[in-house]
Amino acid sequence: MGADRRELAAIFAGGAIGGGIRTGLSAVAGTPAGQWPWATFAVNLVGCFLLGYFVTRLQERLPITAYGRPLLGTGVCGGLTTFSTFQLELLQMLQHGNVALAVLYVVVSAAAGFVGVALGTAIVRRGRLTW
């Protein structure tokens, strides 16, 4: 069974959009090594929110399409968020002796990412956050 070329094109197009936004933001709002990486933190939080919103909306509110989730979920959100840069920035914090900041960054990023997904989902469902 071969790959669906249109699905791959949707992922590619979405990834180009998300990656372009992330790269542009990083160029404008770069962070010195070893400090709190605001640009990466922001794009990861926005990506989590959008992922919760897009996936819930596409699954529960709109007719099922073959290309919406690959374009928006895998492509845009996957290109926008960046786990590799997150790891690199953590290593830089540790190399600069900022262990407490690195731990705080991991904890806050994970918690805020979860809240972002929950908030995006709650907005689509027009309900309150439920934990």
89-116 tens-digit pLDDT = 999 999 999 999 999 999 999 999 999 9
Burial of 112 (0-12, 13-18, 19+ CB in 10 A): middle
Question: What pLDDT was estimated at residue 87?
Answer: 92
The pTM (predicted TM-score) of the whole model is 0.85
Question: What pLDDT was estimated at residue 41?
Answer: 93
Question: What pLDDT was estimated at residue 47?
Answer: 94
42-67 tens-digit pLDDT = 999 999 999 999 999 888 876 777 78
Range of the domain at 56: 5-125
- 21 within a domain of the structure (yes/no): yes
- 130 within a domain of the structure (yes/no): no
What secondary structure letter does DSSP report for 39?
H
Task: Give the angle 63-46-29 at the CA atoms, nearest 5°.
Answer: 145
> Nearest 5°: phi and psi at 86?
-55, -50
- 131 within a domain of the structure (yes/no): no
Average pLDDT, the chain: 89
Residue 14, pLDDT > 90, answer yes
Count up the domains in the chain and report the number.
1
- 74 within a domain of the structure (yes/no): yes
Of 75, 79, 13, the C-alpha closest to 44 is 79
43, 22 Cβ separation under 8 angstroms: yes
24-45 tens-digit pLDDT = 988 888 788 888 999 899 999 9
Q: How far apart are the C-alpha atoms of 24 and 118, rounded to whole Å? A: 27
